[in-house]
Amino acid sequence: MKYPKIILLTLFVFTILFCAACSSAPYEITRNGLTCLFDPQTGFIRRISNGSQTLNFDGVVIDVGFDTGTDSAYLYTQAGFFDIGALETWTLPTVYPRKKPMPEYEITEITETENGVNVGFLRDGLHILYQYTFQPDGLRVSSRISSRREGSVELNGVAFITRGLNFEGETFFEYPGNTPPGEISISGSLYRPFVSDYCASATVLRDGKEAVNLIFLDDEEKWGTGVYEDENENACAIHVAGVLSRMEPGEALDVGGLFIQLTAGRDRYAAIREHYKSLGYAAPQNGKNDGPVYSAHPSGTMDTGFTHLKTLTEFAEYLPALSETGIKNVWLLPVFLHPGDSVYESIDQSVIDPRYGGEKGAIDYTAAAHALNMRVLFDYVPHGPRPTEPLAAGNPDWISKTRSGENQIEWECVSFDYNNPEYARYTTELVKNHAAVLGVDGARIDCSMGGLPNWNEQPPYRASSSGISAGINIVRAIREGFESGGKTPMILPENFHPIPLYAEYTDIFYDMPLYRTMYTLNGRLDSETISETEYVKILQDWLWAESESTVEGIARLRFLGNHDTVDWTFDAARPQAVYGTEKAKAMWALMSFIDGVPMIYQGDENPEAYGLRGENLAGFFKRLFTARAEFIPEGAGIEYFDIGLPVFAFRRYAGDTETFALINFSGEEQTVDLPEGFSKLAFSEKTSPKGGTVTLGGYGFALLK
């Protein structure tokens, strides 16, 4: 957030001010069970220790990108400059560490505080206050940036660079619950970072003995993350926050921060979850996250051009068949007034399109679903309509502005700033009406990762607050609308980033990282750079890391395809086309039997209904979802097993109920020893037990009791 005219000197009872020029001896301080060593000549921290683990490193450099109109660069030249304002909503700041010596700078203070140390750096009139907060399991580093220049300056990116982590032997890293998947060696990556595909809250670095977690959180804007090796073969990490803000003399803003977590004696993933809990991140207490989910539209499918038009009243006739299949939740793609076939380009979300039967059609649909004990989710599109539509033209203050004051446009539509309080109130009332009058039970929320920068900065927000901060605010506004409309909602934001910031308002995480992991591994399998057994091992490890490192209680949406991926992005094909029918069935079994909520997209159950290729699988999904409901208790825990075969093996458990799943990922027959205590087939396809073993046919699977 942006704070005008902040006085930077804060006094504490235990504050002592040191002059860097007075001593060259290392400066050691202990607070809250953590001991840190600083170099008073450079101002950088060099070591942290809590008695169980010690980390030696070259410190954290906080570098600031700036643009004066005639010059653009990073203040300390440690990162390459890219204009964050030129990025699309879905792209992250570019991660580009540079091998450059630090330029000259002034250390303005080294000040002890009640819980740590503050160190001030000054260069070219920009002041960066490093705020170190000591905790028993690690060190938090945040920043306060202020201007002492005479004229205005535009901040354009803030990079937190953790340098020279001194591990023993070969160093590996991973982004749990993110991509690229798996543990990756940093060897040979000299200043060429391995970049996360989505905002990475957590980065795990380890050698053969111990691990360190880097947890970065920015509740205002998205950030990019990369890990690389320096010239001394030590690990480095860089987090680039997409900060955009005009700064006048005397103004200051806070960015970050970064938590360096020591994990000795603890599971490295559980330590991440514990840290989130300590910060107050928790799943909603009043929401729903069961399944399965069916995603559909009364005009048909994205990949057939929405050419099977029905009213919602007519479309409701298919609900009994879905209920019979085991579907509990129907996510309707947008049914609001829209031009042509662009269902994601709503003109006015307060109007149900007459093509789909208008308000009466919506009421008929939700009533029919409720009679079958099913929920209906609307798909809200908060980014706004085309600029000439009344909702945009009549509310210019809702629209984010460019640097020159023009409307921000994306997908030929305006980019509403979800932080605008009037727009938030409008959205809450809109949703309240849909809940109370139409009977809608929840929402999938399109583009909930925020919008384009809003240079019409309104305190307490900065231009880039229209990103993560705005995304959280629109999800909150929609959730509050359902609650005020008398619903206990199911909220499913289209948020790809596995970050805890949305947790309080999210019942189901839209798990694109899992889809992207499978997409990546499929490519490696096709190119024969991994075997089927390695595929299973990598994916099981990824799923375990995701499960253990996420905010407790958040369910995840499990899918092999959605309306986007069947038509234009990633695979741009249906799962039966990607995997073949039998392998797709095995993968759908995996999506249904692991933790989370399975989803299928309209036509997956019966491609013939839309003129698509593939087998009719309605009976298969009925058997699959019936077995899921009968043998896997809601909220059951999960434990994965590496059995050295191309077979997914995991245990689901809750109370006295235990189920063991085996899913053959290979087209070849696989014989597996029965796990101890599990001898009865509860559900199976292409499976036969014999003595103490079970034989899985090609792409066969089984649930064992």
186 and 87 both lie in a single domain:
yes
What is the distance, to the nearest Å, from the Cα of residue 494 to the centroid of all Cα atoms in its chain?
9
166 and 56 both lie in a single domain:
yes
254 and 311 both lie in a single domain:
no
Judged by DSSP in three states, 568 sits in coil
Flag whether 50 is in a domain. yes
Q: Tell me the pLDDT of the chain averaged across its residues.
A: 94
> pLDDT band for position 69 (50/70/90)?
low
CA atoms within 13 A on the CB side of 88: 6
Flag whether 352 is in a domain. yes
100 and 228 both lie in a single domain:
yes
> pLDDT band for position 24 (50/70/90)?
confident
50 and 190 both lie in a single domain:
yes
CATH of the domain at 644: 2.60.40.1180
Angle (CA) 216-218-222 rounded to 5° is 100
59 and 124 both lie in a single domain:
yes
- Residues contacting residue 82 through CB under 8 Å, at least 6 positions apart: 93, 94, 96, 157
Please report the pLDDT score of residue 672 as a whole number. 97
Please report the pLDDT score of residue 71 as a whole number. 75
Q: To which residue do tokens 């705020």 refer?
A: 131
CA distance 299 to 647: 39
**251: alpha, beta or left? (left if phi > 0; alpha if psi -120 to 50):** beta
Please report the pLDDT score of residue 74 as a whole number. 96
Q: To which residue do tokens 């030249």 refer?
A: 77
> Which tens digit of pLDDT belongs to each residue from 208-247?
889 999 999 999 999 999 999 999 999 999 999 999 999 9
Please report the pLDDT score of residue 583 as a whole number. 98
Backbone angles phi, psi at 208, to 5 degrees: -75, -10
Flag whether 545 is in a domain. no
> pLDDT band for position 68 (50/70/90)?
low
Flag whether 654 is in a domain. yes
> Which tens digit of pLDDT belongs to each residue from 440-452?
999 999 999 999 9
218 and 156 both lie in a single domain:
yes
CATH of the domain at 384: 3.20.20.80
| Res 684 pLDDT > 50 | yes
> Looking at 507, 524, 558, which one is the last position of a domain?
507
CATH of the domain at 211: 2.70.98.10
Higher pLDDT, 69 or 167: 167
> Which tens digit of pLDDT belongs to each residue from 459-482?
899 999 999 999 999 999 999 999
> Which tens digit of pLDDT belongs to each residue from 104-157?
999 999 999 999 999 999 999 999 999 999 999 999 999 999 999 988 899 999
371 and 501 both lie in a single domain:
yes
Q: What tokens does 501 get?
A: 């910031």
> pLDDT band for position 23 (50/70/90)?
low
Q: What tokens does 318 get?
A: 């298919």
| Res 669 pLDDT > 70 | yes
> Which tens digit of pLDDT belongs to each residue from 263-278?
999 999 999 999 999 9
Q: What tokens does 645 get?
A: 């075969």
Total tally of structural domains belonging to the chain: 3
| Res 380 pLDDT > 50 | yes
**Listed residue (31, 30, 28, 35) closest to 50, CA to CA:** 35
Please report the pLDDT score of residue 341 as a whole number. 77
197 and 322 both lie in a single domain:
no
**349: alpha, beta or left? (left if phi > 0; alpha if psi -120 to 50):** alpha
> Looking at 449, 478, 507, which one is the last position of a domain?
507
Average pLDDT over residues 683-697: 94
Q: Which residues pair with 254 in a beta bridge?
A: 144
341 and 233 both lie in a single domain:
no
CA distance 330 to 4: 47
Please report the pLDDT score of residue 418 as a whole number. 97
- Residues contacting residue 16 through CB under 8 Å, at least 6 positions apart: 111, 112
SS3 of 334-402: the string is CCEECCCCCCCCCCEEEEECHHHCHHHHHHHHHHHHHHCCCEEEEEECCCCCCCCCHHHHCCHHHECEC
> Which tens digit of pLDDT belongs to each residue from 633-642?
988 999 999 9
Flag whether 8 is in a domain. no
pTM of the prediction? 0.95
| Res 14 pLDDT > 50 | no
- Residues contacting residue 419 through CB under 8 Å, at least 6 positions apart: 454, 458, 461, 465, 466, 469, 470, 473
Higher pLDDT, 140 or 6: 140
Please report the pLDDT score of residue 21 as a whole number. 38
Alpha helix (H) ranges present in 180-279?
268-278
> Looking at 480, 507, 534, which one is the last position of a domain?
507
346 and 461 both lie in a single domain:
yes
Q: What tokens does 476 get?
A: 């909150």
Question: How many percent of the chain have pLDDT more than 90?
Answer: 91
Q: In which domain, by residue range, is 364 found?
A: 280-288+300-507
Please report the pLDDT score of residue 15 as a whole number. 35
**Listed residue (298, 284, 447, 287) closest to 375, CA to CA:** 287
183 and 251 both lie in a single domain:
yes
Asked whether the beta carbons of 557 and 511 are under 8 A apart, the reply is yes
Backbone angles phi, psi at 374, to 5 degrees: -115, 155
Q: In Å, how far are 155, 254, 337, 546, 552 from 280, measured between CA atoms? A: 30, 20, 39, 19, 11
Please report the pLDDT score of residue 138 as a whole number. 98
| Res 18 pLDDT > 90 | no
Please report the pLDDT score of residue 103 as a whole number. 97
Flag whether 83 is in a domain. yes
> pLDDT band for position 180 (50/70/90)?
very high
Flag whether 633 is in a domain. no
Please report the pLDDT score of residue 7 as a whole number. 31
Average pLDDT over residues 595-621: 97
Flag whether 524 is in a domain. no
Please report the pLDDT score of residue 691 as a whole number. 87
| Res 434 pLDDT > 80 | yes
CA distance 164 to 225: 16
Please report the pLDDT score of residue 20 as a whole number. 39
Which DSSP symbol is given to 97? B
Asked whether the beta carbons of 561 and 571 are under 8 A apart, the reply is yes
Please report the pLDDT score of residue 486 as a whole number. 97
| Res 536 pLDDT > 60 | yes
